[in-house]
Amino acid sequence: MVPGYSGSKEDFAPLMDPIARIGFDAIAIDLPGQYESAGPTEEAAYLPSALGLVVAELVGKLAADGNPVMLLGHSYGGLVARSAVLAGAPIVGLTLMATGPAELPQGWRRQALDIGEPAIRQHGIEAAQRLKDTLDAHNPAWVALPEPLKTFLRNRFLRSAPAALLGMAHGLRTEPDLVGALARLMQSSGAQSLVVCGEGDDAWPVSAQRDMADRLDADFAVIRGARHSPAIENPDELLDVLIPTWRTWLLYAELPVAA
């Protein structure tokens, strides 16, 4: 499970135990430069293509031990997971969650990147956090969060590598549409795919994600009561989609399915 911009492995916490209980090994990672994972100082190292090579190497090691690997990418992590597959990651299936076919479209999330970049470059990550606090104060969804969670999210952001935030932000604003290339590779490899998003996703529109699923010949699901983070906002309904889909992928691949 690959997290998105300014995210971390903890974004998948509600999924881990239920997935493990059905017999799957659930592995959530920090990407380089995120939270508890160190990373390089070059901003270009955080573009989807570069991070995709890192994830592809990890997937390759898991697959070399005889494990069928199913890869899930959330938001920016979806662009990274896509790049990993294009780089040759040997997978049984790919889940793209709350991510899109190309760069982040215009909207408040992209505007926040545009505002945050000069703050980080000129005044450091602490200044960007203060700016983020100001913006969050006007976001009802943020205001409603429990204080311990707000504290964790602030601390996590401050532990992000500045180069990672800047490089990923650049990737979010420049990533080309690679759906066609991915579709051809998935078809030739026999790997399966799923696109899933929250019904109120405010990053990539639901319609754009549905179109991406059509182009990939992938299953598509919309999670009720969720916005851009279904794993946090409605994990039960998300699991109701993921688990049967993943079981089917293993059957399709003629691999043993956990009881």
The architecture of the domain spanning 9-101+176-252 is 3-Layer(aba) Sandwich (3.40)
Over residues 186-198, the mean pLDDT reads 97
0.85 exceeded by the pTM?
A: yes
CA–CA separation, 2 vs 5, rounded Å?
Answer: 10
Q: Does residue 253 carry a pLDDT above 80? A: no
| Cα(166)–Cα(44) distance, integer angstroms | 9
- Mean pLDDT, the chain, rounded, equals 94
Residues 200-215, mean pLDDT to the nearest whole number: 97
Cβ 71 vs Cβ 93: under 8 Å = yes
Could you tell me which of 15, 10, 76 has the C-alpha nearest to residue 49? Answer: 76
Q: Cα(first)–Cα(last) distance of the chain, in Å?
A: 22
Residue 47 has what DSSP assignment? S
Query: Which whole number is the average pLDDT over 235-247?
Result: 97
Instruction: Give me the sign of the Cα torsion angle 28, 8, 50, 80.
Output: positive
Helix-then-strand count for the chain, H and E: 12, 4
Q: pLDDT at residue 259 above 50?
A: no
In this predicted structure, the answer to whether residue 254 has a pLDDT above a threshold of 90 is no
Mean predicted confidence (pLDDT) in 72-84: 98
Give the list of residues 6+ apart from residue 132 with CB closer than 8 angstroms, or none.
112, 116, 157
Give the per-residue pLDDT at 258.
52
At 139-179, the pLDDT tens digits run: 888 888 889 999 999 999 999 999 999 999 999 999 999 99
Q: What are the tokens at 57?
A: 């190497």
Task: Find tokens 């606090």 and name the residue.
Answer: 133
Asked if the model's pLDDT at residue 255 lies above 60, the reply is no
23-35: per-residue pLDDT in tens? 999 999 999 999 9
Query: Which of 91, 50, 59, 75 has the alpha carbon at shortest distance from 182?
Result: 91
Region 198-221: mean pLDDT is 98
Question: What is the rounded distance in angstroms from the CA atom of residue 28 to the CA atom of residue 209?
Answer: 23
